[in-house]
Structure 1
Amino acid sequence: MLTKSTFKMATLGVALVSVATAVNADDAADYPTKTIQFLVAAGAGGGTDNFARVVRPMFEEALGGANITVINLPSASGALAHQRTATGAADGHTLDFASTTLVTSLAAGQNPIGLDQLTPVARMQSDVMALFVNPERYPDFESFLEYAKENPGEVTVGGTHTASPDHVSFLSLRDASGLDMNFIPYDSTGNATANVLGNNIDATTTSLSPLLSYMEAGQMMPILVFSDERLADYPDVPTTAEYEWDLTDGNDRAIFVHADTPEPLLKRLEDTFKRFTTLRSTRHTPSE
C-alpha cells in the first residue's frame, strides 16, 4: 500500500527512437562529460519541480557522482525549457522535465516545440488532480458546492497558467458541474496556494504531490478528487464519479531530450532511469 510519504516511480512508457546521428558505444559509456542540466518547465515548488529534485540525487548516484544543476523555466507555459532543449546540443546533457502541460500548451498554440524536436526518454510519474481548499473555509465539497450554487460568479479557483492541467481540470469541473466559477492563472503552484491560504481565492485545482506538506500540516485539503475511486490516503474525500460526472483527470510527468540525441546515449539514459525501481511516488492508490 502506498502512502503519501512513500513514492514509487515506475518507469512507465519508456520510449526510444532511432536517429541519424552516429555515436559509438565508448562515447555513451563516457557519459556524462560535463555538468548535466535538468530544465524544469515549471516554477519552483510545483509537482514537476519536486519530481526533478527527487530524481536528481538518484540520477547523480546512478552515474557515479555526476554534477547536475536544476533550472526552473516556467515562462510561456514551460515553452522556454522545451526550446532550450530542442535547440541545444544533442549530447544528452540537457534533460527537459515536463508535465502534461507540454501537450496542453502545444494544443493551445502556446508552445511551438513538439515531438519532432524532442524525444521522450521516460514517463515516470502520474499524479491525480483534485480540488483543494483551506479547510477552515470549506470543510468539505458539499459546503463548497452549496456556496458556489448560492453565489454564482463569485467563486474563484486558481491554478498555474492558462492551458495548464490545472486550468483544464477547472474547465472540466465547471462544465461537468454547471457551476458559475472563475479561474485565475498564476505563474506557480506556490502562488496559487498562497492565495488560497490568504483567502484571496476560494480553491485551487492541482495535483496531489505539490501540496503534500500543506496537507500534512492541515493547511490545505483536497475536497474532491478527479478519479473513479476514492484514494486510500483520503478515504473520506469524494470523487467526481460519485457525482456522476464524466470527469477523471491527472498530470503525468516525463523526461525529454533533443530529438537528434544519438541512440547509444538514449539507451544509456533509458537504462539509468530503469535503475530507479522503488523511489518516491505521487501516485496515490484507490482505496480498497
Structure 2
Amino acid sequence: MHKTLRHITAAPALVALMIAAPALAQDTEFSPSSMTAFVAAGAGGGTDNFTRTVQPMLEERLGTNITVINLPSASGALAHQRTAQSEPNGESLDFASSTFITSRAAGQNPIGLEQLTPVARMQSDVLTLVVNPEKYETFEDFRAYAEANPGEVVIGGTHAASVDRMAFLALNEATGFDLNFIPYDNEGAASANLLSGNIDGMFNEISAIQGYMESGEMKPVLALADERLEAYPDMPTTVENGWEFTFGNERGVFINAETDPEIIAAIEAAFEDVFNSEDYQAYAAKANLDVRSGWLGSEDYRKVLEENLAFFEELLADQ
C-alpha cells in the first residue's frame, strides 16, 4: 500500500503578514445582504471556536451579517447537505474539519467534492500520539511495550470515521504493532480513559491538550509530521521513523460547488485577509494552531483533500 500523504505547504504566517494584503471582496460585485455559516460540529469544540473567531472578521471584510448554525449530527453530514442544497449565491458557507473527508471515505457522508468545493483552509493542526507519562515517558517506551506485547495495546479515539481513527489505522499498518482501537462518543470520554489508565494512548492535537500537558497528566510523544516541530524539538516524527504519513486535523470553509467562481474567489480573498491579520494570528498563536502553517487557497486545498480522500479510502479498504 502506498502510504505517502504530503501537505502542500504555504508561506509561514510571519512571511504572509509581511506581504501585501490581497484585494478584498469589496472590490468585486459580491455584496451579500446576509450569510449563514453552517458548522459541521457542536458548540464549544475546535471547529466551532474557529468559526466564531473569524465570524466578526469576515463580517467586517464582506460588509454583512453572518448567522452561525451548529449542525453536528452524523459527523457534520447535515451541515454539508444544507450547504450543498443552498442557493449557489455565496451566502451559505460550511465550516468543517477533516471529518468531512474521513466520513466521506467511510461512506457516512453523502456529500463529496462534486457538491461542495473548498474556499480555503485556515488551520492544519498536527496530530500527535498522546500518552499518560506515568505509563510511558517517551515514544520509545510505548514502542518497546507495543512490540513486546502484540494485541494488548489499546488506542482510544472518537467515532469510527474520525481523523484520529485514521491515524490509528495508518500507524498500525506502518509499524505492525498490532494495536487495538476503542471508539468513544466524544473526546472527553477518551481523555478520561487515558488518564485512568484504561487505554494506552490516543491521537489528538497539541492545541486540544494544553491544559493536560501543563499539569503533567498527558504527554505527546509522536508527531505525524515530516520534521520535528520547532516548539517540541524532542518529539520524534512519523517520517523520521520511516512511516510516510503526516496528516492532521484541518479546518476550512466550503461552499456550494455551483457557485460562480468569481464569488468564490472574492470570499477566498476575504479569508486570506483574515488569516494574515494580526487578530487572527494572535488567536492562532494563543490556541497553538500555528505549529504548522494553515493557509491554503481553494485550488491547493482541493488537491490536498483529494489526496487525503484517496489515502483514507485505501486505509479503510485494507480493514
Q: TM > 0.5 between the two? A: yes
Pairwise mapping of residues 1-288 of structure 1 onto structure 2 (< 5 A)? 8=13, 28-29=30-31, 31=32, 33-34=33-34, 36-64=35-63, 66-73=65-72, 75-276=73-274, 277-278=276-277, 279-280=280-281, 281=284, 282-284=289-291
Q: Which amino acid aligns with 1:284?
A: V
Q: Specify every segment of 5 or more residues in structure 2 that has no aligned partner in the other structure, as ranges.
A: 1-11, 18-27, 294-319
Q: Specify every segment of 5 or more residues in structure 1 that has no aligned partner in the other structure, as ranges.
A: 1-6, 12-24
Change (3 A) 1:158 1:275: same
- RMSD of aligned Cα (Å): 2.9
Structure 1 position 234, deviation (Å) = 0.9
**The residue matched to 1:127 in structure 2 has which SS?**
strand
Residues 150-180 of structure 1: per-residue CA shift (max 9 Å, x gap): 3332221122322322111111111122112
Query: How many pairs are equivalent?
Result: 262
**Native 8 Å contact 2:131 2:200 kept in 1:** yes
Which of the two has greater helix per residue? 2
**Native 8 Å contact 1:43 1:189 kept in 2:** no
Distance (whole Å) between structure 1 residues aligned to residue 113 and residue 292 of structure 2: 31
Change (3 A) 1:185 1:103: same
Distance (whole Å) between structure 2 residues aligned to residue 94 and residue 188 of structure 1: 28
Distance (whole Å) between structure 2 residues aligned to residue 183 and residue 69 of structure 1: 34
**Native 8 Å contact 1:46 1:189 kept in 2:** no
Q: Which amino acid aligns with 2:37?
A: F
**Native 8 Å contact 1:45 1:189 kept in 2:** no
- Which has the higher mean CA deviation after the structures are superposed, 135-144 or 42-51? 42-51
**Native 8 Å contact 2:154 2:179 kept in 1:** yes
Change (3 A) 1:259 1:241: closer
Structure 1 position 203, deviation (Å) = 1.3
Name the TM-score, length of structure 1 as normaliser. 0.78
Change (3 A) 1:60 1:79: same
Name the TM-score, length of structure 2 as normaliser. 0.71
Distance (whole Å) between structure 2 residues aligned to residue 43 and residue 190 of structure 1: 13
Structure 1 position 233, deviation (Å) = 1.0
Distance (whole Å) between structure 1 residues aligned to residue 69 and residue 138 of structure 2: 37
